[in-house]
Chains A and B, each alone.
Chain A
Amino acid sequence: MGRTLAEKVWDDHVVRRVEGEPDLLFIDLHLLHEVTSPQAFDGLRKNGRPVRRLDLTIATEDHNTPTIDIDKPIADPVSRVQLETLRKNCAEFGVRLHPLGDVEQGVVHVVGPQLGLTQPGTTVVCGDSHTSTHGAFGALAFGIGTSQVEHVLATQTLPLAPFRTMAITVDGELPDGVTAKDLILAIIAKIGTGGGQGYVLEYRGSAIEKLSMEARMTICNMSIEAGARAGMIAPDRTTFDYLEGRAHAPQGEDWDAAVAYWKTLKSDEDAVFDAEVVIKADELAPFVTWGTNPGQGAPLSANVPDPASYEDASERLAAEKALEYMGLTAGQPLREIDVDTVFVGSCTNGRIEDLRNAAAVIEGRKVADGVRMLVVPGSVRVALQAMDEGLDKVFTAAGAEWRHAGCSMCLGMNPDQLAPGERSASTSNRNFEGRQGKGGRTHLVSPQVAAATAVLGHLGSPADLSDARTPVEA
């Protein structure tokens, strides 16, 4: 019987297989950041253990880093201690670190791919649930807990329980103005926030094949929001082209050998998935969330749903609670929801293509009165590239704030937060209660919808904007 992509990558990493025990898997790439690593290093220290493979380990600072005044001392003592601890640990153990101010610093899931470290057929782990992002390259990538971080540091392996596989086939073509973000929000709304539990999802089909690497990362990033262990997309020419020439991509003969291997990484024709979902791309539209979990979403043209319309009692209750927290009423058109804040950034939508897409919408337009728009590049490299293309000017001319790279308002561990009751349109991945600040209300959107919303002052898409634009002076 044929094997799925995920099974092939798994099999290629088995260090030890014993009947009745979990497989011991080798880990090709271990990414670290300041929040989930300190106790892991502390554990190594206590047991006198070194980091086994420094050449497969890399760290960056992202969750706590400020996005303004980055040369000043960090005000919040907890954030400061976490960052200082990471620096101390990396120096002591010899781990490569890209700290705040470094040109390779940024959100860990943006940094790995852009350095060319995330490659097809690799196993990638990080103490962070959105590690699923790296699956866009055909890597088996998943988030781990702090004791597993320590385990990988010490042994470069992990004992792992087997997973099930789910194929999500997206056929057809995404209509104009419909993005990868809309697609993944629609998928999560369809299968639910627990629909992927225990599964590795494989996104496939003609609509997926046409997507850029950035768009594929947006999709795999949010696999975790469907409860999945990981998300994957088979590598192809788009993947190889993205990687070729990057700092850590193979070169010369190694490149040829790598590509030959990468080409074998797809699910066999006769591979059997444990579950299958089919989505028709042509039927999709811009999608936004109205509730407090990423599965509570609807097309932008819809109205806030009536909780009474849910047959399932727990879903009804969840919807009622969500509407109350979000300050919305059933039947209200989603397009009429006013926002105070627009956030463009995060490991979901903080890459160069996302910034280009948002900039293309806002160019020559103005952020609506009373709306604050934050644009936070996913990494310093993304920021530099955007500045090179003049995108920062496009945003500032429109009245948006151009910030330094980091996680920022995606989770509000740094000073970028919503005030209680404030409402945002955000390109990030979680609309949980309080995620962007205590009492803050979050609507998840694509970069295009974020930009249009900033101009309109209420949720809307580029199609809702008038044609009038003022040229931006270079």
Chain B
Amino acid sequence: MEAFTTHTGRAVPLRRSNVDTDQIIPAHWLKKVTRDGFEDGLFEAWRKDSEFVLNKPERKGATVLVAGPDFGTGSSREHAVWALQNFGFKTVISSRFADIFRGNSLKNGLLTVVLDQKVVDALWELTERDPNAEITVDLQDRQVRAEGVTADFELDENARWRLLNGLDDISITLQNEPDIAAYEGRRPAFKPSTIQA
């Protein structure tokens, strides 16, 4: 997965609370067999409305989603994270995320940042006033910066280390390659093999 150190980009203000994963990516998209191509399914129902914030021309190319509280509730589908990433989001800011969604996002390299609702409000106002305003999410210093806003955030050390180094579960396990190889070396010969006799 891609490493995350610092990211600066324009934002999309999503003034809605309790956005569940079914709204992020509706169930019928789960039939797909890849991890990409979900961008058109992101917030599909809302995007039918041309006034929906994501449809506004000035939001094109934005990479920071500033969402309302309780983002990502509902079903555990990892597709919600993929859809946000496929669309181009690198990070999501909210005052509260659903646990499973947060776990999935950090596993996939989408940084979810928890900030006070007051700070979220300030970011909303800023980006609504000036769609070109940029927000910086700095994982080195665990800080979000924008015009008139400087806010520290927390992230547990293990998750931070993984993101900074771009390590997914698999790359972490593969760091123990010598242990795996050693185990393979001592496996008994009678263990089954699927190679066709």
Interface of A with B (CB < 8 Å)?
A: 15-16, 24, 26, 28-29, 38-39, 42-43, 46-47, 49, 54-58, 78, 81-82, 85, 96, 116-119, 122, 146-147, 150-151, 154-157, 159, 247-250, 254-255, 257-258, 261
Cross-chain contact of B180 among A116, A151, A155, A250 (Cβ < 8 A):
A155
Contact call B174/A154, Cβ cutoff below 8 A: yes
Which A residues touch B78, using CB under 8 A? 146-147
- B34 contacts which chain A residues (CB < 8 A)? 38-39, 42
Of B170, B183, B192, the residue contacting A26 (CB under 8 A) is B183
Asked whether, in the complex, the Cβ of B180 is within 8 Å of the Cβ of A96, the reply is no
Q: Are A155 and B33 in contact (CB under 8 A)?
A: no
Residues of chain A contacted by B31 (CB below 8 angstroms): 78, 81
Contact assessment for B33 and A151 in the assembled complex, using a CB-CB cutoff below 8 Å: no
Provide the bound-state CA to CA distance between A323 and B31, in Å.
Answer: 32
- CB contacts (< 8 Å) of B191 on chain A: these are 28, 119, 122
Which residue of A28, A39, A248 is within 8 Å of B33 (Cβ)? A39
Residues of B within 8 A of A42 (CB): 33-36
B196 interface residue per 8 A CB criterion: yes
Report which of B107, B173, B192 forms a contact with A116, defined as CB distance below 8 A: B192
Structural contact, B170 and A248, CB atoms closer than 8 A: no
Closest to A255 in B: B190
Say whether B190 contacts A258, CB under 8 Å. yes
Q: Does residue B150 face the partner (Cβ distance < 8 Å to A)?
A: no
Chain B residue at minimal CB-CB distance from A156: B180
Given the known interface contacts A96-B194, A151-B170, A155-B174, the answer about A39 and B189 at a Cβ–Cβ threshold of 8 Å is no
The smallest C-beta distance from A463 to any residue of chain B, in angstroms, reads: 42
- Which A residues lie within 8 Å of B180 (CB)? 15, 24, 26, 155-157
Complex: A257 Cα to B188 Cα, angstroms: 9
Q: Are A55 and B33 in contact (CB under 8 A)?
A: no
- Chain B residues positioned under 8 Å from A56 (CB to CB): 192-194
B192 proximity list for chain A (CB < 8 A)? 28-29, 56, 116-119, 122, 248-250
- Residue contact A254 to B179, C-beta cutoff 8 Å: no
A154 adjacent to B194 (CB under 8 Å): no
Chain A residues with Cβ under 8 A from B176's Cβ?
Answer: 15-16, 24
A340 to B194, CA, bound (A): 41
Expressed in whole angstroms, the minimum distance between the Cβ of A144 and any Cβ of chain B is 12
Q: Which of B153-180 contact A (CB under 8 A)?
A: 168-170, 173-174, 176, 179-180
Instruction: Please name all residues of chain A whose beta carbon is closer than 8 Å to the beta carbon of B170 when the two chains form the complex.
Output: 47, 49, 150-151, 154-155
Docked complex Cα distance between A48 and B139 (Å): 27
23 contacts across the A-B interface (CB closer than 8 A): A15-B176, A24-B180, A26-B183, A26-B184, A26-B187, A39-B33, A42-B34, A46-B35, A57-B194, A96-B194, A96-B195, A119-B192, A122-B192, A154-B170, A154-B174, A155-B170, A247-B197, A248-B192, A249-B192, A250-B192, A254-B189, A255-B190, A258-B190
The smallest beta-carbon distance between B25 and chain A, in angstroms, is 13
With the chains together, A16 CA to B184 CA distance in Å?
A: 12
A55:B189 contact, CB within 8 angstroms: no
Chain A residues with CB under 8 A of B35: 39, 42-43, 46
Chain B residue contacts of A157, Cβ below 8 A? 173, 180
Q: Helix, strand, loop or mixed for chain B's interface? A: loop
Return the chain B residue nearest A25 by Cβ. B183
**Which listed residue, A43, A57, A85, A250, touches B190 by the CB 8 Å rule?**
A250
| A151 in contact with B169 given A46-B35, A78-B31 (CB within 8 Å) | yes
- Across-interface contacts of B190 in A (CB, < 8 A): 250, 254-255, 257-258, 261
Minimum Cβ distance to chain A for residue B180 (Å) = 6
Q: Is the CB of A55 within 8 A of B179?
A: no
Identify the 7 closest CB pairs spanning chains A and B, nearest first: A38-B33, A258-B190, A254-B190, A250-B190, A58-B194, A85-B33, A15-B183
Q: How far is the CA of A28 from the CA of B193 in the complex (A)?
A: 9
In the complex, chain B residues whose CB is within 8 Å of the CB of A82: 33
How distant is the Cα of A78 from the Cα of B78 in the complex, in angstroms? 19
Chain B nearest CB from A111 CB (Å) reads 11
A327 to B183, CA, bound (A): 55
Complex Cα–Cα for A116 and B192 (A): 8
Chain B residues with CB below 8 A from A147, complex form = 78, 107, 169
Which residues in B have their C-beta under 8 angstroms from that of A155? 170, 173-174, 180
Do the beta carbons of A55 and B188 come within 8 Å of each other? no
In the complex, what residue of chain B is closest to A44 when comparing beta carbons? B170
In whole angstroms, what is the CA distance A180 to B174 when docked?
A: 42
Contacts of A96 in B (CB 8 A): 194-196
B183 touches A159 (CB 8 A): no
Chain B residues positioned under 8 Å from A49 (CB to CB): 170
| Known contacts A15-B183, A24-B180, A248-B193, then 12 further A-B pairs from the complex at CB < 8 Å, ordered by chain A residue | A26-B183, A28-B192, A38-B34, A56-B194, A78-B31, A96-B195, A117-B192, A151-B169, A155-B174, A157-B173, A257-B190, A261-B188
A359 to chain B, nearest CB (A): 32
* Residues in A neighbouring B193, C-beta threshold 8 A: 55-56, 248
Q: How far is the CA of A85 from the CA of B35 in the complex (A)?
A: 13
Cβ contacts under 8 Å, B173 to chain A = 24, 151, 154-155, 157, 159
Q: For the complex, give the distance between the alpha carbons of A56 and B34 in Å.
A: 24
Check B183–A55 contact: CB distance below 8 A. no
- CA A49 to CA B34, docked complex, whole Å: 16
A248 touches B187 (CB 8 A): no
Nearest-neighbour CB distance to chain A for B83, whole angstroms, equals 13
For B181, the closest partner residue in chain A by CB is A15
Set of chain A residues within 8 Å of B194, measured between Cβ atoms: 29, 54-58, 96, 117, 248
- Distance A58 CA – B179 CA, assembled complex (angstroms): 24
Residues of B within 8 A of A156 (CB): 180, 184
Tell me the complex Cα distance, A24–B182, Å.
13
Cross-chain contact A159 with B169 (CB below 8 angstroms):
yes
Please measure, in the bound complex, the distance between the C-alpha atom of A258 and the C-alpha atom of B189, giving whole angstroms. Answer: 9
- B residues in contact with A118, CB < 8 Å: 192
Please give the distance in Å from A55's CB to the nearest CB on chain B: 5
C-alpha gap A419/B180 in the complex (Å): 50
Separation of A151 and B36 alpha carbons in the complex (Å): 19
Task: Kindly state the separation between the CA atoms of A316 and B98 in the bound complex, as whole angstroms.
Answer: 30
